[in-house]
Structure 1
Amino acid sequence: MGILLLNIVSFAMPGDAYINPLAWGSGRPVDLAVWAINQLLFEGRMRGLLALLFGAGVILGAARAEHRLRRHYARMAVLALFGLAHGYLVWNGDILLHYAILGCLLPIAWDWSEGRLARAGIIVLLVFSALLSLQFAGLLGLQAAATAPDAPASLVASYRAMLATFPQPGSAVAAADLAAYRGDWLTITDYRVNVRGSTPLRLLELAGGETLGYMLIGMALARAGMLTGGWSERGLRRMMVWGYGIGLPVIAGLTIWAFASRFDPIVLMGNFLAWSIPFRAATALAHLALILWLARRFADRPIVRRIAAVGRMAFTHYLLTSFVMTTIFYGYGLALFGRVGRAELYLFVAGMWAIMLTVSPWWLARFGIGPLERLWRLLAARIANATQ
């Protein structure tokens, strides 16, 4: 449900708009406010929660499975196939293949202690953030040199060529997205394969370290009992205080910097890919603690049970959302791509949430497991058995 808060922009607008609020749309105050709220509270945090829970699921599954290595790799193989089909046939923003590839590394850490897992996850996050931060610091230096009054022409040309690859208004990438995604299914598929075909590799390059760090921390939290109800309310509140106290002030400062820079492309990309990583990790952990605290406090409320049902069908809903949203926005459906304001997109989010919250309890009451969860399990079991 939280992932859709961010992905809705990629479903409905050119890819540049995900990072730069001026890359597509009118730049209305309400749109900028929506973008700022997402930056402050949700951007990176929802992917972080998903990766945390993925890591936790891997270690919990390993604890109870016979032939755990074979079964794990069978599950990752099936997940990779789903991801390939999803990314190239439905929506270019797939995360499943990314998780399947990184998930193949996790058995190395299966038997580590919770402390070792947590330390490894934190180190991976910090090192990845530091490496990317140095690169963007260098780009800011290039910007300063290239915009100086006496800058050499060759340096200015290099700077402009580099800047042309960043999300900004009027970019060639946005124009190509509009032309493709307003077309028919064959046109869009050709674009996904032949123009955007390297997206999975780019995702590994730009976000792989962050995702792996989250997965390791999720494994640690599962081993520590946090995700199985073992933490007290006091422990959850402590994580909220520390996580929000460390993360939110810095994320707020980076968001203010983006506005103050007039959405400079280098500042936006640096915030998105590098500088914010440790601080959005802290707030992702605080979000997790808050969710667990609320779920415990209001466990008997119908809405909590409905949300839990959505969680049990998360794989199905992730893919279902892509089918629904691409049908609404792409040319072969209602053709609304690039025609709906950023703020109005959240009406579609609310509608999709209503579907999830209504369908999930009904389906689970009759079938006990989501349809794609069942298919994933059956295919993985067949592969595992076939390799015995």
Structure 2
Amino acid sequence: MTRSFYRWALLATLTLTLAGCSGAGYLAESLKGHAGIMLARQSVSKLIADPATPEALRAQMASASAIRQFASDHLDLPDNASYRSYVDVGRDYVTIAVYAAPEFSLAPLVWCFPVFGCVPYRGYFSRESAVKTVRELNQQGLDVHVTGITAYSTLGWSSDPLLSTMFRSDRTYLASLVFHELAHQRVYVNDDTAFNEAFAVAVEMTGVRKWLDSLGDQAGLARYEAGLERNAEFLALVAKTKTELARIYAGTGTAEQKRAEKAAAISRLRARYRRMRDESWGGYDGYDNWVESPVNNAKLAAVSVYNDLVPDFLRLFDLCAQDYPGFYAAVARLGRLPKAKRADALRSAKSCG
């Protein structure tokens, strides 16, 4: 399922910590976790050159180094120190993200911080802190979704390292993460996570295609395209369910009636998915965990954040003749528009300019 990518507001952390604001404890914990990772960095080039480096790790570093250079040379992504160092975090996920939404609304809760604006999640290096937040949100009657995070970006405020969690799958997965996170350093708009994430996903998708093609890896490209097609079909199922739920929530039924109709809509989502998996996908079960685990408004909202605007960004990329500098400039111009007009301007764009 779609990955989530957590952004850390380091300057906001320092601001709130010094000011003694109510959010200082959370943000100070974030800074502490990030600082621990930064202190553990090892140079990728030195790991490759060191004969004591295990061969498997050396091969991973060599692949990551080539991907990182491709990002700057061919995707016009920042040529800086980010993703040129490595940290073994010693766990499956680097952070845990918590999303929340009202029981009868698909709009996620947002948390706001100085400098970097508002985001529809909170992220934790500490599992205990995440569990505490989940408990508090549940006590408020909110839908809550928790997901593990494999990579994050400080938006260029620090030299972000490659993390062991980024190597949990194949090199295509690694490339997608590197391209996505570097895209956030190219364009980032405060208070508009859906815009930022969809833009980064578009860079990720087009970048991976270009990278695989440059390698002459036609088999890998075919697998990637098949995965994108399945993802699009799955997102269409999710969109159908969201439409049904929006109608239910806007209706005049009682809370008890809406609760029952909500459960029925989610059951229909699962049934539709199983049919698609078994009849159209030949039994491919890559989305089983997402579907069979609890589905609620917070989980559906997380999917929307990363995906709803992606087709529009891909269309804009084509309008820009698939030229990355021109595309980034067009996205930056859209980012300067008022938020209320931004998505409509993206959808209605007739040219790159």
Q: TM-score, normalised by structure 1?
A: 0.28
Identify, as 1 or 2, the structure richer in helix. 1
Using CA pairs under 8 Å that are at least 6 residues apart, name the structure with larger relative contact order, 1 or 2: 1
Structure with a larger share of its residues in strand: 2
What TM-score, normalized to structure 2? Answer: 0.30
